[in-house]
Structure formats: C-alpha cells, structure tokens
Amino acid sequence: MPLTERAVSMLGAIFSSLKHRDFRIFWIGQCVSLMGTWMQRTALIWLVYTMTDSPFLVGLVGVAQFLPMLLFTLFAGAVVDRFPKRKILIVTQSLLMLQAFALAMLAFFNSEQYWQLLLLCAFLGITTTIDMPARLSFFADLVGKEDVMNAVSLNSSIVNLARIIGPAVAGIVMMKFGAAVCFLINALSFLAVIYSLTRIETKDSVAPPQKRNMLEEVKEGLAYIKNDETLYLNAVFLAIVSTFAMNSEVIIPVFAKTVLGMGAGAYTKLLSAAGAGSLAGAVTMASLSKKGVRKWILLVGAAATLSVQVLMAIAWNYALALLFVAMIGFFNLVFLNAGNSIFQVYAPDKYRGRVMSVYSFLTQGSLPVGNFFAGTAMQAFGGWAGYPACGLTAFICLALFMGNKKEVVKGWFRAASLQE
C-alpha cells in the first residue's frame, strides 16, 4: 500500500468515531470546554496559594473537589440510569458554568475568601460526581459499542491536549489580566458544550422505571460487576492501579525539588512530559480501536506503568526523568482507556450508568487515598521513593490477587492471538 494511502487509512482509524454526527458535535463542544477547564484549574490553585501561602490549604482544595466523588459516585450511577443522559448533562454543564461565573465575579471584585473558594470547589465536586458517569456512559449511545473504544480514546486525546495547552495559556492570561479572566473564559466555554447537547438527536438509553430505592439499585449494579468475571477483574485492576499509580501530580513537584534539585521550570516541564505521553497514548489507542476491545491491553498497560514507576528509582538525571515520566503518562492512558472500554462494551444498557459510576469511583475517588500513600512514602524515605513505592505496592497487590487467576489471564492472551 502506498505511503499516502496508509496515512489516510491510519487517520481514518484514529478518527473513526467522528463519522457519527452526534458524537462529532459533542466532541467539538468538549474541545472548547476542556481548554477552559484546565485554565480554571491552574488559575484556582495559583489563586489559593497566593492567598494562603499554605500547601496544606491548597491540598484541601483537591480534597473538597474529589471527596464527593468518593462518597457519592456510586449513587450518581443509579441516577444516571434513571434519566436521559443528555438532559442530565445539560443540567450539570449549566451548573458548572455557574460555578465558574461565581469564581470570576469573586476574583473580579477582589472579594474572594478561602472558605468561599472551598465551597465552590465542593460544589464543583458534587456536580462532577453526576456529570462524569453520565458523560462516559453517553458515548455508547452516541457511537454504539463498535466505536466506543475510539470515542473514549478521542475524548482522552482532547483532555490531555487541554492538559498541556490549558495551563500554559492560563499562565499568560493570569500575568496580563489576572485569574478572574481565566475563570470567565471557562464559564463562557461551557456554552459550546450546552449548545452541542441541544443539537444532538440521539435517543438516550434509559432503564425501565424502578420502584426500588436507590441503594438497592446501587447494590444490583455492584452485584452485576461481581458476577461477571471480565467486569470484576477489570474493576480490581482499576482499583489497585488507580490508587497507587495515578499520583503524578503529588509526586512530581517533590521529585523535581528534592531529587533533581530544580525549581518550577522543571516541575512544569515534567507535568508537560506526562501530558504529552498521555496524549500519545490516547492517539495510539484511537488507532488500535478498529480492532475492538482487547482485554490483554489492560494487563500490559498495568505492568508497563508499574515497571516504569519502579525504574524511577534510578532517574537521578533530568533527561531520564522526563523520558520516564512521559512513559508513565503513556502507559497510564493506555491502561485507563482499556479499562474504560471494557466497562463500556461488556455492560448492558440498563446497567451502564452504574457501571461507569464504578469506573469514576475507582479512578477519581481513589485519588485521596493514593495521594496520601504517596505523600507518606516521600515524607518517610524522601522524594525519590514516591514512584517506586507506589509501583511496588501495586505489583504486590496485583500478584496476591492474580495468584489463582492465571488461567483467566492466559485466556485473555489466547483470545488476542486468535483475533490476529
């Protein structure tokens, strides 16, 4: 096949889910909004730090945002299964827009106080607790199960592109106009998503009306995952790896200062390296998506992520650290996309909201636990220990769990060889 035809074929594979009109509209809206999201996140952390001069109070901002996901995400899945996802997203995106406007107004009039920012972060966390499983489970409605892996990968690609560009733009805007403009830009960016949702024609998959209470529905969703071997293994892998191997934002600043002996420049470059690696992983997964969901990728992604984290023990050189952090970002993304796609494809429509809420719970709700573990390890042994301690702990947990699951793992790899 000529080089041009191969390039066209590869591009077609990477962007295959964009052939669906409604997903294309939704994806474009997300492209605009996510840039604003990362601008606000960067500006908010900086604003809180300059107000308080306290790393501890900055950390509480993250707790306020992610704690609601730990506490309420599983119940949010039951809500998502009861109502049309498009309407839920219109409501949640509107509420997030109002939260950004509130931040902008406080900053414009220089009337912000720490407790106000903390409350707005908690409001953000509660709203995101419902928004995230609704958004993730909506992909299958927009593109069907055949293209859901590609849709997940393309969504990850724009998240990570925004993660690279958003903070840089926020830095420029803050220096010239202040944090308030970053908040205002984010608020206006939600209009793109809300407008895209009003243009979508796809009908939602809504579970039949239930007379049971919400707790029973949550238990039913968890029981379904437990009784399905593929979903159960996927959930355990996500729980272990997400808890111990997704703590880069906590580890990198300490590593840059104490191990490399460098400052803010090295810190931001290491963050960018992680984002660039994740973006490369998203593009790779998008190009592989036409081959369908392959469960062995979950195993390889987990093993590669943890292996590189252990190797960070020898990354005393700045260039080597950049390379390893980029590799961690790449394999983290491969692992998460594989786990997301397995949940999307193997969950029936009536359970999808609850199943995706478990994904949100495992990948986001576990962050406070993982961050605490990584911080404790670095406090006890030094900044060099963050990545290796997390990687080794996750390896031990997976080895203990997989002790009697060897045949299942072999079956996943055998299935992959038959698909070739």
Chain segment 329-349, per-residue pLDDT in tens: 999 989 988 888 888 888 887
| Phi, psi dihedrals of residue 164, rounded to the nearest 5° | -85, -45
Closest CA to 185 of 203, 202, 172, 198: 172
pLDDT higher than threshold 70 for residue 120:
yes
Mention every residue, 6+ apart, whose C-beta is less than 8 A from residue 59: none
List, for residues 160-170, the tens digit of each pLDDT value: 778 777 777 87
* Stretch 90-116: mean pLDDT: 93
Of 61-65, 178-182, 260-264, 412-416, the range with the lowest mean pLDDT is: 412-416
Of residues 291 and 287, which shows the higher confidence score?
287
Please give the Cα distance from 364 to 135 (Å, whole number): 14
Please give the Cα distance from 409 to 420 (Å, whole number): 17
pLDDT at 415: 61
Task: Note whether 398 and 240 are within 8 A (CB).
Answer: yes
Of residues 21 and 11, which shows the higher confidence score?
21
Amino acid at 58: V
* pLDDT band with cut points at 50, 70 and 90 for residue 74: confident
pLDDT higher than threshold 80 for residue 101:
yes
For residue 365, the 8-state DSSP code is: T
For residue 228, the 8-state DSSP code is: S
pLDDT higher than threshold 60 for residue 420:
no
Is this structure's pTM higher than 0.95?
no
pLDDT at 405: 72
Q: What is the mean pLDDT of the chain?
A: 82
- What the chain holds in terms of domains, given with CATH numbers, is 16-200 (1.20.1250.20), 228-410 (1.20.1250.20)
**What is the three-class DSSP state of 101?**
helix
Q: How many residues does the chain have?
A: 420
